[in-house]
Amino acid sequence: MTTGKQPNRGFTLIELMIVIAVISILAAIAFPSYQSHVQKTRQTEMKGLLSGFATALENYRAQNFSYEDAGTALTPPTNLYYTVTLNVDADFRGYTLLATPKAGQTGTGAMAINETGQNCLLKTNDTSCTPGTDPSWN
């Protein structure tokens, strides 16, 4: 018969608190980096969608000799994180596609591309940019 005290097994409260503190510090460092990566991925996806739609607009112009009624014939790309608008010039010879950030993209700016392929990307909370004037996304 053993009457000795059994050894303690498990973790002390101090040890658990230290582990929680270390995990909290790592999460505080990693989460913003992860969020930034996700936002950049969403921007890259939208750049591809805008470029693809610009190609569709050029095909439309080649068949119809202008961009007239392009906004009704073609549907701008949809995305959960950007609102895309198509602005056709009054003479139907040019256009600007503008992608404005929505929820989940705070801190990023608008992207745009025009009929000549000039594009822009603003890195602030701005809601518009002018291709050929503002910084390019290239």
The domain locations on the chain are: 43-121
Summarised one tens digit per residue, pLDDT across range 20-48 is 999 999 999 998 888 888 888 988 999 99
The identity of residue 135, as a single letter, is P
Per-residue confidence (pLDDT) for residue 102, from 0 to 100: 86
DSSP 18: H
| Cα 114 from Cα 87, distance rounded (Å) | 9
Q: Which CB contacts under 8 angstroms, 24+ apart, belong to 125-129?
A: 125/101, 127/100, 127/101, 128/98, 128/100, 129/98
Q: Please, which pLDDT band fits residue 91 given cuts at 50, 70 and 90?
A: very high
Residue (of 90, 122, 38) closest to 130 by Cα position: 122
| Cα 108 from Cα 42, distance rounded (Å) | 10
How many separate helices (H) and strands (E) can be counted in the chain? Answer: 2, 4
Per-residue confidence (pLDDT) for residue 126, from 0 to 100: 65
What is the percent of the chain where pLDDT is above 90? 43
Per-residue confidence (pLDDT) for residue 36, from 0 to 100: 85
Residue (of 125, 123, 122) closest to 112 by Cα position: 122
Contact 81, 102 (CB under 8 A): yes
What is the percent of the chain where pLDDT is above 70? 93
Flag whether pLDDT at 96 surpasses 60: yes
What residues pair up with 73 in beta bridges, in sequence order?
none
pTM to 2 decimal places: 0.77
Summarised one tens digit per residue, pLDDT across range 104-130 is 787 778 888 999 988 888 776 666 777
